[in-house]
A and B are shown apart, each in its own frame.
Chain A
């Protein structure tokens, strides 16, 4: 999984991992672990409403982080919300990377003029705010997590095209890509065997950065009531539902807010850390 020109990969590997990278990896692993555990176990049933302890402070009657204004256990909701967070990220980033990566490689290989056209079209998409696109999708197909995240995924394609294209252009001018052309390898062969494996480092970085954006977008859309429905546990939706009691019980808003902040920070920091390790321009010769 080495990036182009990263030829002292094993020398770098022996060096100590930078703390931000470790932090990002730990946070992301934690979220994945929590989401997986929530399938089998949560402290309370997510749908259970403890009518005797509504808006209870942390530690009340076995509610570790307290309850929300309907008496649901906040810790359990947070755990189940991690699931939603991961799902939306996988959907949005999956769409963006699966479409954006080949398009980026294509843009690097089709020659300057057609590539210019492609990038101008990309720019139009880029100028269109992701949330606005999601609003449009919600209007057309009804508000659901899937439609919201499809919109976010489509809006993230331009970033992939740009990043992958710039990496692919570098690979296309490396001696091994030239040698493959001399050897008579076709364009598709070069794209699959030489370009794609060598831009994977950049793709991984972009995945983690886009993931953070998708999480934030999901929270924002769910807060606006355009994402997760009432039956889905979502951090954004938790904030939305508890806003009514902001003045009396601010603490029930704090937890999902913290969870979102931590997840976004985790994915961003992981992306930055990976970029430092995988980007050939920063690694140097």
Chain B
């Protein structure tokens, strides 16, 4: 899959893929996210956990440049190999950079695919847009391979299917195929398994881990589910009320939580119930 690389490859110790410094998101005068800073190293898997409304999704959206109108981000978001700050640059230029280097998997598989476009076109779209596979037909061929690599059976038939013909798990696999199509440096997953049932969840998680490894992408994984983050991530940030209250290695944060809010999250999770 690396024939697509048109950008200088990142060496393993080239420093962090993503550096977020003092990120704030404001709606009018209210601060929704305050002073969030973190780094993600190459191939590192960082989880963000927190209750709903803690600002974890807004943090993701700010990194991806997708804040809804009326919300403003301040601070700095830098991608390795990109000279400009991702906040405050020209939208047109940054969109091109982001599209090539960042992939995104969303929470709701039901709305993550365009209902009026067949799967093949949607998977090939990003590759055609960034000319990462040379020609249109090469992009379509790559799309078939991508669908196959996400474990979808009969990818050729899948190419001609429409989203309503697919189950939630299948759709999320397609979304993942789209996200990794251009071999991104960073894969952002915003609660990718919340809307799926438990058996499918485990498979999709496994697939996210496997595929992000296959394309050498770092992972930013947002969830309210500690068990999921524990299984997948190296490091974790705990967010509460728009701020990072605790961060560290997953094993440390989940076994010896320092902040009271982390302890409460832990007490509410499946993790502690499973341990009992």
A175 touches B69 (CB 8 A): no
Check if B115 is an interface residue, CB within 8 A of chain A.
yes
Closest Cβ–Cβ distance, residue A189 to chain B (whole Å): 8
Whether A175 touches B70, Cβ cut-off 8 Å, given contacts A180-B125, A182-B98, A185-B129, is no
B110 touches A285 (CB 8 A): yes
Check if A281 is an interface residue, CB within 8 A of chain B.
no
Check if A174 is an interface residue, CB within 8 A of chain B.
yes
Check if A179 is an interface residue, CB within 8 A of chain B.
yes
A179 touches B111 (CB 8 A): no
CB contacts (< 8 Å) of B96 on chain A: these are 184
Report how far A55 CA is from B141 CA in the complex, Å: 73
Selecting from B36-44, B99-107, B152-160, B225-233, the interface stretch reads B99-107
Selecting from B60-68, B143-151, B241-249, the interface stretch reads B60-68
B116 touches A175 (CB 8 A): no
CB contacts (< 8 Å) of A189 on chain B: these are 129
Pick the residue among B95, B104, B116, B164 that contacts A197 (CB under 8 A).
B116
Pick the residue among A8, A173, A184 that contacts B100 (CB under 8 A).
A184
Closest to A176 in B: B114
Whether A176 touches B70, Cβ cut-off 8 Å, given contacts A183-B125, A184-B99, A197-B117, is no
CB contacts (< 8 Å) of B165 on chain A: these are 10
Pick the residue among B70, B104, B110, B115 that contacts A182 (CB under 8 A).
B104
B112 touches A176 (CB 8 A): yes
Check if B273 is an interface residue, CB within 8 A of chain A.
no
Instruction: Tell me the residues in window 177-204 of chain A with beta carbons closer than 8 Å to chain B beta carbons.
Output: 178-186, 189, 193-194, 197-198, 200
Closest to A1 in B: B116
Check if A112 is an interface residue, CB within 8 A of chain B.
yes
Instruction: Tell me the residues in window 64-113 of chain B with beta carbons closer than 8 Å to chain A beta carbons.
Output: 64-66, 68-70, 92, 95-100, 102-104, 106-108, 110-113
Instruction: Tell me the residues in window 1-26 of chain A with beta carbons closer than 8 Å to chain B beta carbons.
Output: 1-2, 4-10
Check if A129 is an interface residue, CB within 8 A of chain B.
no
A198 touches B106 (CB 8 A): no
Query: Which 4 pairs of residues, A with B, have the shortest CB-CB distance?
Result: A184-B99, A197-B116, A175-B106, A175-B112
